[in-house]
Structure formats: C-alpha cells, structure tokens
C-alpha cells in the first residue's frame, strides 16, 4: 500500500502543531471500517485512517474497542473524545465535529434463508413482529424516525443475528460486509441468511465531541484534508473495497 510521500509528510507535520493532552479514542467492531482479529489486533478502513492521522498530528493514544452505545454517549457528553466510524445523519449533524467521509455504506433487512416472509417495501418490514437493530446506531435512529414500532434493540449486532437464527426475531438490519462477518462469528454461513430490501444509505465519519479542544479538531481536520488529497487514502480504501468508488462530498441521510 502506498504511503504518504516524504515531502507531503514533512509539509503536514510542519504545518500542524501537535496539541498536548490525552484523547479518548473509541471504536466498535464493524467490518470493513473496523475489523478485530482473533488476537485482538485491529484493521479496517477506519482504523488505518485514524492511525495515519495520529501519526500526522503526533498523537499516540490507544484505540479502544467499546460497545457502540458507550462510545456514542461518551462522544455526546465528554471532552476530547474521538469516535469512529459514525454514519452522518441530519439529526446527528449538530451533535459532533465531523471528519471525513471515510466510506459509504448501505444497510439491508435480512431474514433467515428459509423464511417465507416477503419483504419488498418498507411497509412489508413495518408489518413484521420484530426487527433487530443496533441500539443508537443509524439504523435504529432512521427506522425510529420513520415510525417503526417493531424494533428490538441490542447493544451489539451479533446478538441480533443469534436471536434471528433462534427464531426470536423476524429480521435484522446489517450491511453485506457486516452480515458476512457476523455469520462467521455466529458459526454459520452468509448463505444461511437472505437479504431483502435496502433500508438506508449513509456516509461514515470520524467524529469528535463538541467539548474537544478547538486546536485538536483543527489539527485532525487539516490532517484528514491532506490525507484525503494524497494517494494514501485511496490506497487504504482500495485495499478493502477495490471496486467501489471513493466516498464523494458529504451527503446527509434523509
């Protein structure tokens, strides 16, 4: 993978002062943005981008994997919090500082492969008994905003898949990459699931809490701008999504 050239790196490092003070950097496991191997090591688009930004601004704080609700609440309430990767939506717009986009993703409604349920429209999904969603995630917030009253919320999406396989849910919501990874973690195959309709599309970002120091936000934002204009960002992105277009200008979920 191509890395930042020495000239670009020198320019960026010269222009950015590394603000002192610890950051709390949180993420979740959600391939292909964040992947956790069996040995606990992290990779993925979001992880590689954040680590590159850390090098550019001189930050060495650890990336900590936490349940999404915990990281989300910390980013809402606490100073100097970095959280990734978060879907950018209209209702979240004023709640955080946004750095990105890192990626674009589409969420789908999934059922068991042998299910006879026919889901061709959102109204069909609205008629299900229970749909598993990830608590406080974009899919939870989107469907809640659209008036869905049949949502079963869990603190991780693996729980939703396990409940689906056990017959306790009619469906759950995930991306293709996420569904494949969750199926592997649950000891089954993606072929044990059947994808139905897309439910929403979103761009994924790094966010900083509103209480984060202004100089830190500026340093990270400037570093991302330099990274995004280099071949390094494309190299990171293509190593995980070789055929997908790079994320375009910010687009808010409707």
pLDDT one-digit tens code per residue, 96-155: 999 999 999 999 999 999 999 999 999 999 999 999 998 888 999 999 999 999 999 998
Global pTM? 0.81
Query: Is residue 34 within 8 Å of 27, Cβ to Cβ?
Result: yes
Average pLDDT (83-106) is 94
Co-location of 20 and 96 in the same domain: yes
pLDDT of residue 21: 74
Give the domain extent around 130.
105-201
CA distance 26 to 21: 16
- What total of structural domains would you count in the chain? 2
CA atoms within 13 A on the CB side of 247: 25
Co-location of 10 and 118 in the same domain: no
pLDDT of residue 7: 38
Query: Is residue 196 within 8 Å of 75, Cβ to Cβ?
Result: no
CA distance 132 to 174: 9
**Residue where the block lists tokens 């994997």:** 65
Co-location of 195 and 183 in the same domain: yes
Average pLDDT (182-196) is 95
Co-location of 44 and 68 in the same domain: yes
Query: From the CB of residue 147, how many other CB atoms can be counted at a distance below 10 Å?
Result: 8
Co-location of 67 and 144 in the same domain: no
Co-location of 96 and 169 in the same domain: no
CATH of the domain at 15: 3.40.190.10
Co-location of 168 and 230 in the same domain: no
CA distance 245 to 170: 33
pLDDT of residue 18: 53
In the numeric block, which tokens belong to residue 233? 């960002």
In the numeric block, which tokens belong to residue 139? 């899919």
- Helix, strand, or coil (residue 182): helix
Co-location of 112 and 222 in the same domain: no
């Amino acid at each position: 993978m191509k890395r930042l050239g020495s000239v670009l790196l020198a320019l960026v490092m010269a222009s950015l002062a590394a603000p002192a003070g610890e950051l709390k950097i949180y993420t979740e496991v959600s391939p292909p943005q964040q992947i956790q191997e069996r040995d606990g090591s992290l990779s993925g688009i979001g992880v590689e981008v954040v680590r590159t930004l850390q090098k550019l601004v001189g930050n060495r704080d650890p990336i900590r994997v936490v349940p999404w609700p915990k990281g989300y609440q910390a980013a809402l309430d606490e100073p100097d919090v970095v959280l990734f990767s978060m879907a950018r939506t209209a209702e979240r717009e004023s709640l955080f500082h946004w750095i990105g986009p890192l990626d674009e993703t589409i969420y789908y409604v999934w059922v068991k492969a042998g299910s006879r349920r026919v889901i061709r429209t959102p109204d069909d999904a609205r008629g299900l008994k229970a749909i598993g969603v990830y608590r406080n995630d974009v899919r939870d917030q989107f469907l809640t905003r659209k008036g869905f009253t049949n949502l079963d919320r869990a603190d991780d999406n693996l729980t939703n898949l396990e409940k689906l396989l056990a017959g306790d849910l009619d469906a759950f919501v995930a991306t293709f990459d996420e569904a494949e990874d969750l199926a592997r973690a649950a000891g089954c195959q993606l072929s044990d699931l059947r994808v139905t309709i897309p439910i929403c599309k979103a761009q994924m970002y790094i966010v900083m809490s509103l209480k984060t120091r202004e100089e830190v936000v500026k340093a990270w934002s400037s570093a991302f701008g330099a990274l995004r204009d280099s071949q390094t960002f494309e190299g990171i992105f293509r190593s995980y999504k070789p055929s997908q277009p790079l994320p375009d200008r910010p687009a808010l979920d409707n």
